[in-house]
Amino acid sequence: MRSATTREPGYRPSEVGGDARSAAMLGSAEFALLTDRYRPELLAYCYRMLGSAHDAEDQLQEILIRAWRSYRQFEGRASVRTWLYRIATNSCLRALENRGRRPLPAGLGGPADPDGPLDPARTEVRWLEPFPDVLLDAESVDPAAIVTSRQDLRLALIAALQYLPGRQRSVLILRDVLMWRAAEVAELLGISTVAVNSVLQRARAGLRDADPMLDEVREPTDGRQRALVDQYAAAIENADVTALMRLLQADATFEMPPVPAWFLGREQIGRFLASYVLREPGDLRTIRTSANGQPALAVYQRDRDGLHRAHVVQVLTCTTAGVARITAFRDPGLFAAFGLPPELPGAA
């Protein structure tokens, strides 16, 4: 797993900055100034823990409310950042109690037959959700931290994290993603350093069991990836199944939650798309976006009145061999989170 360092320069959990010492004297405006800088990274942390951008945003609001109510009693024995992460971790662990993991279709069973009937959507399942990259506010955090944070938001990692118990999930994220020291995590969780290292070992083993190929993806250069996505978008808009199949890895996968069916292999995906998706040129239009630090396409489908309306958000995993994974989230409600309109005006 690639690691992202988001620690403040010179950060130590035992240090008390000037802002921490004066926290009890601050009002609401000052409290916002004190905490707003941490909102993007706390949102990303909650998403890694919960697997849902909506849940992460709700949880972040709850965290800030809890912090606001208690910060006048904040004694400054740890930094503000550590204090907020302690609240966030406890809040996320409570939210995970009695909840199952958020899966993707490939985590629920074997691949489907593209020539068979398509299973109906399972809306009762709490599916894994994408994380719009626009939610990482470039004005609030270091741009270098944004790049590395997005690398550790990739969809395969979030899906694998769902297999870990909550405590293991938090320790692995804090240690291997945020690069906290074992002693810092021990202080935050109120356990020993030995216990932190033990939990981390189990979490790493669980992550390897969930996705043994997690670190084997070889991403193309930026230029090659842009060209690949442009060709993929053109194939969708032109309903050109043959062109799209040429862009896929031989062992590519295609998923579309909340539909539980998924497809494995270039030929199987092509047959499914030809039967159900890519029928007439112009039926679909696309807008380039990004999610989980990966290229993504917002796909609009032509309705009976001729307008193209929000249909799916496809998150693409690109490798040097082509597109390895397509996760098509069939939820028009996601478009607002990406800052995208619900429909496109006029003809393409």
Listing DSSP states for 178-219 in one string gives: S---HHHHHHHHTS-HHHHHHHHHHHHHHHHHH-TTTT---P
Number of domains the chain contains: 2
Within-domain flag for 107: no
86 and 192 housed in the same domain = yes
Mean pLDDT by 10 residues, the chain (348 residues): 41 36 55 84 95 96 89 69 92 91 94 91 95 77 58 91 96 94 94 96 94 78 93 97 97 97 97 94 96 96 93 96 96 96 80
Within-domain flag for 23: yes
* CATH at 256: 3.10.450.50
Which of 187, 210, 233 is the last residue before a domain boundary? Answer: 210
Within-domain flag for 216: no
33 and 68 housed in the same domain = yes
Half-sphere CA count of 94, side-chain side, radius 13 A:
9
194 and 163 housed in the same domain = yes
Domain ranges, residue 197: 18-97+119-210
187 and 49 housed in the same domain = yes
138 and 242 housed in the same domain = no
Within-domain flag for 61: yes
134 and 77 housed in the same domain = yes
Closest CA relative to residue 264, chosen from 272, 255, 252, 248: 252
151 and 45 housed in the same domain = yes
- Residue 300's Cβ-count burial label (10 Å; 0-12, 13-18, 19+) is buried
Do 203 and 164 meet the contact criterion of CB atoms below 8 Å apart? yes
Torsion of CA 235, 238, 241, 242, to 10 degrees: -80
Within-domain flag for 103: no
206 and 271 housed in the same domain = no
- Tell me the C-alpha to C-alpha distance, in Å, between residue 228 and each of 221, 244, 263: 10, 10, 21
Within-domain flag for 194: yes
φ and ψ at 254, to 5 degrees? Answer: -135, 120
Which of 152, 182, 210 is the last residue before a domain boundary? Answer: 210
Cα–Cα distance measured from residue 76 to residue 68, given in angstroms and rounded to the nearest whole number: 15
pLDDT at residue number 345: 82
192 and 329 housed in the same domain = no
239 and 281 housed in the same domain = yes
Within-domain flag for 50: yes
204 and 179 housed in the same domain = yes
161 and 260 housed in the same domain = no
pLDDT at residue number 16: 33
Within-domain flag for 1: no
Closest CA relative to residue 80, chosen from 36, 44, 121, 144: 36
Residue 27, helix vs strand vs coil: coil
Which of 210, 240, 256 is the last residue before a domain boundary? Answer: 210
Half-sphere CA count of 189, side-chain side, radius 13 A:
28
